[in-house]
């Protein structure tokens, strides 16, 4: 793991680190990536609360059994 923080590629301001995952050899592996930019003056700005929420793999969001 690297200890350096992530920065927005557009404005260069620090952004939070987000954990995503991908499947490798049948196992889910965590990947730390840059999160969305919350600087209102940035072209890549994302309003808080508009990030898409994802459920566990294999489940469709909004579908209940």
Q: What is the pLDDT of residue 2?
A: 52
**Domain count of the fold of the chain:** 1
Residue 52 lies in a domain: no
Does any domain span residue 38? yes
Give residue 43's domain range.
1-47
**pTM for the whole structure:** 0.51
Closest CA to 42 of 17, 7, 16, 18: 7
Whether 60 is covered by a domain: the verdict is: no
Q: Is residue 36 part of a domain?
A: yes
Higher pLDDT among residues 10 and 55, named by residue: 10
Question: Residue 62: pLDDT above 80?
Answer: no
Please report the pLDDT score of residue 7 as a whole number.
86
Q: Which residues have C-beta within 8 Å of that of residue 14, sequence separation ≥ 6? A: 5, 6, 7, 8
Cβ neighbours for 51, distance < 8 A, ≥ 6 positions apart: 36
Per-residue confidence (pLDDT) for residue 40, from 0 to 100: 83
59 pLDDT band, cuts 50/70/90, is: very low
Q: Is pLDDT at 47 greater than 80 in this prediction? A: no
């Amino acid at each position: 793991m690297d200890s350096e923080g992530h920065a927005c590629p557009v404005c260069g301001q620090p952004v939070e680190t987000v954990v995503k995952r991908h499947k490798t050899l049948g196992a889910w592996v965590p990947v730390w990536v840059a999160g969305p930019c919350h600087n209102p003056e940035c072209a890549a700005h994302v309003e808080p609360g508009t990030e898409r929420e994802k459920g566990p793999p294999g489940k469709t969001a909004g579908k209940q059994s």
